[in-house]
Structure 1
Amino acid sequence: MVYPHDFERKTGFDQIRAMTAEKCLSPAGAEHAFKTGFSNDYDYVRNELMKTLEFQQILSFDDPFPAVAFSDIKKILEKLRIEGTFPETEELSELKGTLDYLKSVLNYFKATKEGTYLCLKSVVNRVKFYPFVSDAIDRIIDKHGVIRDNASPVLRKIRSEIASRKTAVTGRLMAILKQAQSDGIVDADANISVRNGREVIPVSISGKRRIN
């Protein structure tokens, strides 16, 4: 227990904490910063200072650290805890982005020299990474977050049928267009256009009279 209760405000610790949170690249980082409190535990403080020193050394002397903003996936993970729930496409993209970033951080520390950044590595080494999760997401969505045609056998069949029918419809429209041009109902240079999401054949005024 810290005494007095407003010790952090009097010493300016609360302001330092707020400024630290503002520098965080993710909501999860900011949340962690706000949870940080004053401590008089020597070993804990020393360990935290060592982590800070090691990270300063990385930023100053080592290869660029993969520091990028990423999504807070806590709500997504809480949702997936419920049996029978499935992530939306956007949520899969967020999960994949976070996993990719996590992998890049783990690989970064693996590539550093042995015996360096021991305090930071003690944290990193506790992180469990399961490649099969990322691989599974890759099989479902592409790099643009679009569901792949072969994400499942059923989806592949459905999309194949849709593509086949679109081709058949387009072919039929082209045949009708050519016949209409031959009959003089449609201008010779007319092309199929799209209106309100539908493919249509533009008919001239004189052609409309002939149809009527």
Structure 2
Amino acid sequence: MASDQISIDALAAWLRRFQHLVADNRGYLTELDSAIGDADHGANLDRGMTAVVAKLDEAPSPDAADLFKRTGMTLVSTVGGASGPLYGTFFLRLGTGLGAVTSVGAAELGAGLRAGLEGVVQRGKAEPGDKTMLDALLPAVEAFDAAGVDSVTDAVHAAFEAARAGRDDTEPLVARKGRASYLGDRSAGHLDPGATSTALLFQALDETLAGR
């Protein structure tokens, strides 16, 4: 879908694709989390996104604000650990940033993603290099902004590539936030589960816009 506008249907399809990728990678995310966390990231996020899709199946959202508010509130209420509040905050802020619109262009989506990023920073109090989801989310949003507003599809693909690189860059890091930080130097040598699921979030959007 090489278009300068993303419809509300495509935004909903993004969430469905994310749920599918989370389900496919549930075991992998849990394996990553078992090395440096509570071994529940995959199961928790899968449960949350399954609940989100169930809400979408009940009734379609009329606009982006409603879509992402429902998504965020569902994640906060169904996902345990740190990922529920963080992902929930991201989507709530994204919805507020986009507003009651039925389609978004690159400039609007970029502003919404930036609002979501700022919400995650405020909620999690993490900094770049702390080995958290921020290490994939921040470069993704920055890459989206750097791509410009000519093509939302190109900007999303740049964001996905940056998120994937950010995920990979967490492997040698020593965690400074969350349960992983208790391990000290032993947290190095493992990908961060939150950064890994964040890369899946942008992969889902990239694949949705590419029509895959």
| Rg larger for | 1
Give TM-score scaled by structure 2 length: 0.23
Bigger helix share:
2
Higher RCO (CA < 8 A, seq sep 6+): 2
Give TM-score scaled by structure 1 length: 0.23
